[in-house]
Chain A
Amino acid sequence: MSKLDVSRRGLLRTGAVTGAGLALPTIFTAQSAAAFTNDPTGGSVTLGFNVPQTGPYADEGADELRAYELAVDHLNGDGDGGMLNSFSSKALEGSGILGKKVEYVTGDTQTKSDAARASAKSMIEKDGAIMISGGSSSGVAIAVQGLCQEAGVIFMAGLTHSNDTTGKDKKANGFRHFFNAYMSGAALAPVLKNLYGDDRKAYHLTADYTWGWTQEESIKAATEALGWETVNTVKTPLAATDFSSYIAPVLNSGADVLILNHYGGNMVNSLTNAVQFGLRDKVVNGKNFEIVVPLYSRLMAKGAGANVKGIHGSTNWHWSLQDEGSKAFVRSFGTKYGFPPSQAAHTCYVQTLLYADAVQRAGSFNPCAVAEALEGFEFDGMGNGKTLYRADDHQCFKDVLVVRGKENPTSEFDLLEVVEVTPREQVEYAPDHPMFAGGQLGSCNPGA
């Protein structure tokens, strides 16, 4: 006969250990199934729109905010529905996202990486934002994308054109609808060849930061493939305002094309200075001197005034497009605000709808489920023809526009005209293309 010797303390200890052992897998299971950063539990879901509300890109940021507001209206069933009517996916019904009313908070990036990270962090931690979107700079986009990856929320990038955003700095939680520098080069090159021939000498002025470097690399490779010679590439400080001392050497360099890898205020000033120095009236090597601006925006063109006339560049989208999606968006935006949307507004609006649609199709706000729904997603009706969100790098592939500064604008918005819609196939590249090498997408982080 055995003796059962059980003390009170021993029983408690054994019970606690056994209980913990049995409960352990349940805790892990429960976490992995339902818990992720800012899981919306009430009747609403909060999105975080992180745009430049102060600083030099504040006007672009204001246009992005207008687009986000419009997207939220349409998601909640207000207004005319905009692109929801033309979007090929019909998962969204104008009843919020998964039945939850869409609300939003905003942050000010100031177009500074540290400020943008701070505002995104605040929206995630204090306001419970489940997704962050916006921005008008690649430096900011890369910084915020990294933060969202760490925090376990989805980042739907706004205006960011550097190859690095979906290249060496790509992240599993980050998605870019906007086109990139490589695509600008690939779209522009054939047009430049038709216009200016294959025997040209190009001089590059390049903004000295991530976007400028990849823009120069891309357009240089594309034009050299045409047979153009690169005479010189000069980096200019981002803070530069007067480019006269950089333009002057172009005059005697033997170049017959000036490529301005500048954006925003840099581009407005460098183009203005180049025109002031009479470059457009010069004849070099028996050819008319030409200026090219690889990345154009309407807001920027407005700042440069008449100097943009006849200058070629590329853009992600333009309000004059006549497809059903673009017309629907321009109608909604124009009716609400009284003027046509910019390309930044377009990409932000589309990104919000794409995120909402992905949640709806996934049936969950879990970032990993949303990422899975976005990866490899093919859609149409959003303004750039048939579009693919490539799974390998989370870059959208779609038609790219080559535009030219309009000679006789009919209004203050009518500054660019579409010269060519470059088909998607022409701007596609392999996921392991050298210009995008160096980074890993990694795995999705649900946070919590």
Chain B
Amino acid sequence: MSDEQTLREPDERPEPGTAAEGTGGDETGGQRAEGAASGNGPDSAVQESQEPAADGGAAAERAAEDRVANGRRRLLNGLWPPRLSRAQLIVAVLLFVLGLGLAIQVRTTSDNGALRGARQEDLVRILTELDNRSQRLQDEKRGLESQRSQLETSSNQAAEALKQTQQKEAQLGILAGTVKAEGAGITLTITDRHGGVQADSLLDTLQELRAAGAEAIQIDDVRVVADTYFTQGADGVLIDGHKLSQPYVFKVIGNPQDLEPALNIPGGVVQTLEKEQATADVVRSQKIVVDALRPSKQPDYARSSQ
């Protein structure tokens, strides 16, 4: 409406009074309608005819306002004082039914969950979900039961593992030289009267024995292990820093039928030693006792990675 006002204003400027009246009438629909009704000069009548839509809108607005006021009044009248009319009674009966249904529905919904008011397809869906859930739980139960039985039998497994570990420890102890060992094997005695046998010959002998499957070796009173070394001293051969005394006696546990031929093969250890003016004597035995021990040594840096 204010847009119309600004558009219209230049035309009406020559007659200030009319323009003023027009602007005044625009403020509220009710006021301007009154102005028009009082017949305030021809100009104002012309103005009214120029904007019939605005006038109609104003009238409708007023009617709506009246109706609103009437509606409120009617509501209050209906509420108070209570009147026993046919309409009131009928509406009361229907509202009673509504309240009943409302209460029942609310109670039903809050009473026993979703199942009571649920429709058939919902029930079917719920049933399927429950079936799936029970299936899952059954699977889980089965898995747990098998786990339990595994745990029950694993006490035997643990005992077995312990036994195996002890066996392994004994084997490793033999290899590391921390336990005594006995078994079939040979005794190799090297007698070197001329001092021709050097450390390298003894090392060759040892390697030959190892290659032939020797499991535990003792030279004189020194247990031979992985880090055993020979050195050539000024007056003889040292093994692991100990002076070896003549004759050199190798006590070797292993299969005698492998060990003896390994030493005696042509070009082998025995022949080589004989070239050095030494005598090598191999004697098989069913019981060789390797009783020299090594202290078990905890490694400083290496740790078991298992």
Q: Do A and B come from one complex?
A: no
